[in-house]
Structure 1
C-alpha cells in the first residue's frame, strides 16, 4: 500500500510538471515533503561538481522544512550550473532556496564580513544572494518567472570572491501560457514580495492551495488595520486568467478602521540585505475583490512614489480585479505604494493580495545551440572535467570555457565557437567527429595528447589551422583534408604523427 501511494504521488508530480530538488541530499532516495505533499529528488544528474554538505548538527531541529538540512557547496570554479529539463517557449516559476546553517563551522554569515555570491538564469544575471548578517537557520528564497529558451533551463551560482556559493533546494513549476503576460523571452521578473492579507493561520501559503506553488506570505496587520473575510467564493472575471489567484486567498482582505483619522493603506517591501530597491525597476500587481456583504461604496486611488497609477478604482464584488500597468516597470526607490480613499467614497480602501517584482533583462545571447551540443558531445566523449566547463560555453564572456574562443561580432546573433585549444588535455581514444561539425571553427589544437586511430574524413570548410602533433594517430590523411592542405587553405601540423601523405 505504501509503495502504491508513493507511485501515485510521483505520477502526480510528473503530470503537473513539477521538478523539486533537495540539493546535497546524501542518499539517492526521493522523499515526500510533509508540508506540501510533493516529492523531492536528490540533485544527481542535474549538476556536475560541488560538495554535499549538511547544516550544523546543533541546528538540525530548527529547519522550517526538510530541504534546509542539506546543501550543495561549490568551492571550485567561478560558475557552477544546474540544468533542468524544460519545454521551449514555456513559462515557468523557478525558485532557489538558501539556508547556511553554519555548515562549514566558519560562522560566515555573522562574522562581520561580506558574504555574497551571484545567481544567474542561463547566461543572464538574475540577482545577488546576500547572506551578510543572515541568521544561521533562516531560509532565503529567490524566485523568478521566466520563459524557457530551449529544452533546458540553467541556474548558475557564481563566485564573486565574497563567499563560497551554495544552494539548499531548487524548484521548477510550469505556469499557464496566459499567465503573467508581460513575461517573455526578453523579460523575466524576480520576486520582491508576494503577500496575502487577512487573518490567516499559516505564515506561508503555497501548494496545494496554490496550484502553481507560488509562496504567499501572510500579513495580518494590527490596528488601524481591520480584517475582512467571507465564505463566498471569489472568482476571476470571465476571460481574466492572467494570475489565477486561489479563491481562498481572495476571501480575506485588509482595510482601515472607519474611526481612524487616516483613510489610506501603505504597502511597504520586506526588509533585509537582499532588498535594494533604489536601482530596481519594479512591477506591482494589486489583487482586489470586494467581500463586504452589503452593497458598498468603496473607491480609492492607487499611487506609486507620488505617481497616480489608477484613479477612482472600485473593486468588483466577489470577483478578482488584478490591477497592473501592462508590463510597465516603475522607478520607486522606496518600493512603497499608497491606496487612498476618494472624497466620494463611503468606505476606506481594501486589498486582498499583492505581488511585486523587479525586472530581469534577458539580453545576453546563448551560444549557438549546435555548437553547444557538439561541445557537450566532446566533453562526454573524452570525459573532460575542467573546472570552468560549466554552463554556456561562450556566454557571458567573462565565464566562457577555458580553451575556447568565441565570435561575438554579430551582436544580434548567437555567439559561435571559432577556436578550440585542447592541447595537453589528457585526451585519449579516437578523434571526436563532433569537433569537425562546428561550421564556424577556424582553429583547432589537439596536440600533445594520446589520440589514437585513423583521422576521419572530415569536411573542413571553415578550418584554417589543424594541429594534431604529438599523438599516436595512424593511417593516411583523408582526401578532403589533403586537398585543402594542397590548395593552401589549411595549415597542418603533424609532428610525431604516424600517417602517410598520398
Structure 2
C-alpha cells in the first residue's frame, strides 16, 4: 500500500442520521479501534492507514471525548509534503466536513506545526505557528459545506510547510441537502462555504460532540457572548420551552433548540466577526418572536446594518407570527477590513436575535482533468513511486501549492481545468513499468524516466501529438518500439539508448534525426533496420518474424489462395460440361457390346486358370474356338452375378455352373 491515506469502508459503516442523510462518517484519527462515545456516536478507527504516524496528546485527561486524545501526523521527510484521506462518497452531493485539530505538545517540542488543509482540492484551513495558546492546548473544531464530484470519493488533504508535520485529531463527513444554504444565492458546486462563526444566542455551546442535542446536519453551535462588541449594552436573554413552528424543515433542517433562546437589548445589538477581506461572506440570520409581550405586528421593528450599510428592516411577528422560526440571509461583498460588523438597530422596542451564521464563500480551485488523475494514480502504482515523493490527492491542485514532485501542470485550453504537461522522474530508483493508462495524458509534452530500473514493454499509447521530448534511456525496457510512438509528429528528442529493445525501428522514427531532432537508439542489441544499426534479417529477427517475413508469408498465402480458387473454378466448369455432353446412340450400343465381350473373355480366362490348376493345358490358339463352342452350347451357363470381391475392380463377376466343366473333359 502507498502512503496515501485511503479510507474505503464497508456498508456497515454507513450511519444515516435521518431520512435526508445518506452518508455519515466519523473518523478517530490515530485511534486503534472503532469506538462509541458518551453521546452514542460511533467513531471509526484509521488503523489500516499506512500514511503518517499516530500519537497521543500529552495531557489526555484534559479531553472529555476519547477521539480527541489521539491524532495522526504526517512527517514530510517520509510521507511527502502532501497527504490525503480519500473518503468514499457514492454520489455527487453536498457534505458537511469537520475536523478537530489539537497539538497539546504531543511531540515534546513546544512548537505547533504550520500547515494547510484542502477539501476537494480547495484550500480551506490554514494553521501558522505559533498557534493561540487555547488552540494549541485545547484544540478546536473547524467545518465547512462543500460539493463532492461524481468520482466516488471525497478528498481531504494536508500540506506541510517546510519540515513541519501536519496533524489531525478527528475527521467527519456528513451528507446534507444539496439545496441547503441557498445555493441560488452563492452558487452550487462552484463554491465552498467555510464556517467563520456559527452562533447561538443566549445559551452555551451545544451540538454533536458537545451535548446530546440533535442537529440533523451535525452542526455545532457556539455561544454568541464572545462575539458581541463593546457597543452592545443591556443584553437581555429570552428563552422558552414552548414548541417553535417551522423548524427541522427542508432544506436546512435548523433544530428547534436554536429558536428557543434569544438575546435582546435596550439599544443596539452588535457583533464583530473576523474575516478575510479577499472573500465574500454569506450571513444567515435566525429569528423567532418568543417574547409573550410581543403579540402583534409593529411591536418589535429593527434595522440590519452590515459594515454600516442598512440592508433590511425586520418585523418578525409581521412576517411569520409568534413562536415561529424566521430566517433571512445576506451576502456581504467587497470588504475592505478584516472585521465584519453586524449591527441590529432598534426602531420599535429592542432587536431580537436567536442565531447568526457567517460563511466565507470560497471559490473552488481548479482541479486536474479526471481522466488524467486516473492516469497519474495508475502510473504511481505501476512505477512504484516512493512515499517520500508525496504523490497523493490531486496531481496538480490546489494551484497555491506545487504539483506532485516531478510533475508540471498547466491549464487546459478552456481555462477551467488543469492538465499534465511534463513528468520528470529521472534517477528516482523506480523499478516498475509504464502503465497503459499513460495514453490518457493527452497533453503530455515531455516525459523523462531515464536512469531507473523500469522494465516491460513500451505501451502503445505512449505516443501523442503533444509529445515533444521522450527520455527512457538507461532502463530495462524490452520488446519493440511501438508504431504509435513513431507517428508522433511533434517529437524532437527521443532517447531510448541502453535498454533491451529489439526489432525493426520504424522509418518514421528515424526521420526525427533527419529533420533536425535528436534520436539515440544505441545500446539495444536487438534493434535493426536504420543507419547506424544492423540490417534486419529478411524473414527472421531475434526469434520472431521480421516485417519482411510477415509480408512474404502474407503474399504466399494470397497466391495459394488465388490458385485454389482457380483450380476450384476449373473443376466446377469441367463437371458442368461432362453432364451436358450427350453420347450418340450408336456409340452407346457399341460400348454395350464391347462390355459383354469383355465379360465373356473374363469367363474364359477363369476357366483356363481352373484347368491349368488341374494339369490341363490349352494352347493359345485353341482358346478362341473353345470359347465360341462353350457359349453356343451353353447359352444359359452364366448362372448369376456373384458377390463383389473387395479386392477386384468395380466390375461384374461371374459364377460358372458345373455343367460348363464338361466341355473341358
TM over 0.5: yes
Are the counterparts in 2 of residues 393 and 401 from structure 1 also a CA contact under 8 Å? yes
User: Relative to 1, partners in 2 of residues 1:201 and 1:417: Cα closer, same or farther, differing over 3 Å?
Assistant: closer
Give 1:173-184 correspondences, 5 Å limit.
Answer: 173-181=174-182, 182=186, 184=188
**1:289 corresponds to which residue?**
288
Classify the secondary structure of the residue corresponding to 1:366.
coil
Classify the secondary structure of the residue corresponding to 2:173.
strand
**2:137 corresponds to which residue?**
137
Q: Quote how far apart the aligned CAs of 1:308 are.
A: 0.7
**2:457 corresponds to which residue?**
454
User: Relative to 1, partners in 2 of residues 1:455 and 1:108: Cα closer, same or farther, differing over 3 Å?
Assistant: closer
Is the aligned partner of 1:340 residue 2:345?
yes
Partners of 1:293 and 1:400 lie apart in 2 by 60
**2:375 corresponds to which residue?**
374
Q: Quote how far apart the aligned CAs of 1:194 are.
A: 0.9
Partners of 1:64 and 1:381 lie apart in 2 by 45
User: Relative to 1, partners in 2 of residues 1:500 and 1:150: Cα closer, same or farther, differing over 3 Å?
Assistant: same
**2:252 corresponds to which residue?**
243
User: Which runs of 5 or more residues in structure 1 are unaligned?
Assistant: 1-6, 110-114, 257-261, 270-274
Is the aligned partner of 1:487 residue 2:508?
yes
User: Relative to 1, partners in 2 of residues 1:381 and 1:307: Cα closer, same or farther, differing over 3 Å?
Assistant: same
Q: Quote how far apart the aligned CAs of 1:137 are.
A: 2.9
**1:188 corresponds to which residue?**
192
Q: Quote how far apart the aligned CAs of 1:377 are.
A: 0.9
Partners of 1:11 and 1:404 lie apart in 2 by 36
Are the counterparts in 2 of residues 13 and 38 from structure 1 also a CA contact under 8 Å? no
User: TM-score of the superposition, structure 2-length normalised?
Assistant: 0.64
Q: Quote how far apart the aligned CAs of 1:428 are.
A: 2.6
Partners of 1:337 and 1:360 lie apart in 2 by 20
User: Relative to 1, partners in 2 of residues 1:314 and 1:16: Cα closer, same or farther, differing over 3 Å?
Assistant: same
Are the counterparts in 1 of residues 84 and 156 from structure 2 also a CA contact under 8 Å? yes
Classify the secondary structure of the residue corresponding to 2:15.
helix
User: Which runs of 5 or more residues in structure 2 are unaligned?
Assistant: 1-9, 227-231, 489-505, 513-517, 529-545, 547-665
Residues 321-340 of structure 1: CA distance to partner in whole angstroms, max 9, x if unpaired? 11112x44463643231212
Partners of 1:61 and 1:446 lie apart in 2 by 52
Are the counterparts in 1 of residues 15 and 25 from structure 2 also a CA contact under 8 Å? no
**2:642 corresponds to which residue?**
none
- Residue from 20, 35, 39 that aligns with 1:31: 35
**1:352 corresponds to which residue?**
354
Are the counterparts in 2 of residues 85 and 153 from structure 1 also a CA contact under 8 Å? yes
Partners of 1:476 and 1:160 lie apart in 2 by 45
**1:112 corresponds to which residue?**
none
Q: Tell which deviates more after alignment, 352-361 or 387-396.
A: 387-396
Q: Quote how far apart the aligned CAs of 1:459 are.
A: 6.3
Is the aligned partner of 1:420 residue 2:447?
no
Q: Quote how far apart the aligned CAs of 1:370 are.
A: 0.7
Partners of 1:191 and 1:336 lie apart in 2 by 16
Classify the secondary structure of the residue corresponding to 1:164.
coil
Are the counterparts in 1 of residues 177 and 252 from structure 2 also a CA contact under 8 Å? no
Is the aligned partner of 1:391 residue 2:418?
no
User: Relative to 1, partners in 2 of residues 1:133 and 1:229: Cα closer, same or farther, differing over 3 Å?
Assistant: closer
Partners of 2:484 and 2:442 lie apart in 1 by 15
Are the counterparts in 2 of residues 190 and 360 from structure 1 also a CA contact under 8 Å? yes
Is the aligned partner of 1:403 residue 2:406?
yes
Q: Quote how far apart the aligned CAs of 1:368 are.
A: 1.1
Classify the secondary structure of the residue corresponding to 1:61.
helix
User: Relative to 1, partners in 2 of residues 1:500 and 1:279: Cα closer, same or farther, differing over 3 Å?
Assistant: closer
Q: Quote how far apart the aligned CAs of 1:495 are.
A: 4.2
Is the aligned partner of 1:12 residue 2:15?
yes
Partners of 1:154 and 1:368 lie apart in 2 by 15
Q: Quote how far apart the aligned CAs of 1:285 are.
A: 1.1
Residues 119-160 of structure 1: CA distance to partner in whole angstroms, max 9, x if unpaired? 223333223224523234312222111112343332222223
Partners of 1:457 and 1:164 lie apart in 2 by 41
**1:172 corresponds to which residue?**
173
**2:222 corresponds to which residue?**
217
User: Relative to 1, partners in 2 of residues 1:337 and 1:477: Cα closer, same or farther, differing over 3 Å?
Assistant: closer
Are the counterparts in 2 of residues 154 and 391 from structure 1 also a CA contact under 8 Å? yes
Is the aligned partner of 1:496 residue 2:523?
yes
Are the counterparts in 2 of residues 255 and 350 from structure 1 also a CA contact under 8 Å? yes
Is the aligned partner of 1:21 residue 2:34?
no
Q: Quote how far apart the aligned CAs of 1:409 are.
A: 5.9
**2:73 corresponds to which residue?**
73
Q: Which has the higher helix share?
A: 2
**1:474 corresponds to which residue?**
478
Is the aligned partner of 1:252 residue 2:252?
no
Partners of 1:237 and 1:30 lie apart in 2 by 33
Partners of 1:149 and 1:9 lie apart in 2 by 23
Q: Quote how far apart the aligned CAs of 1:212 are.
A: 0.9
Q: Tell which deviates more after alignment, 85-94 or 16-25.
A: 85-94
User: Relative to 1, partners in 2 of residues 1:201 and 1:173: Cα closer, same or farther, differing over 3 Å?
Assistant: closer
Partners of 2:474 and 2:432 lie apart in 1 by 14
Q: Quote how far apart the aligned CAs of 1:429 are.
A: 4.3
* Matched residues, number: 469
User: Relative to 1, partners in 2 of residues 1:302 and 1:330: Cα closer, same or farther, differing over 3 Å?
Assistant: farther
Classify the secondary structure of the residue corresponding to 2:389.
coil
Partners of 2:23 and 2:36 lie apart in 1 by 16
Is the aligned partner of 1:230 residue 2:237?
no
Classify the secondary structure of the residue corresponding to 2:454.
strand
Partners of 1:407 and 1:11 lie apart in 2 by 38
User: Relative to 1, partners in 2 of residues 1:412 and 1:207: Cα closer, same or farther, differing over 3 Å?
Assistant: farther
Partners of 1:164 and 1:38 lie apart in 2 by 29
Are the counterparts in 2 of residues 301 and 313 from structure 1 also a CA contact under 8 Å? no
Q: Quote how far apart the aligned CAs of 1:482 are.
A: 4.7
Classify the secondary structure of the residue corresponding to 2:192.
strand
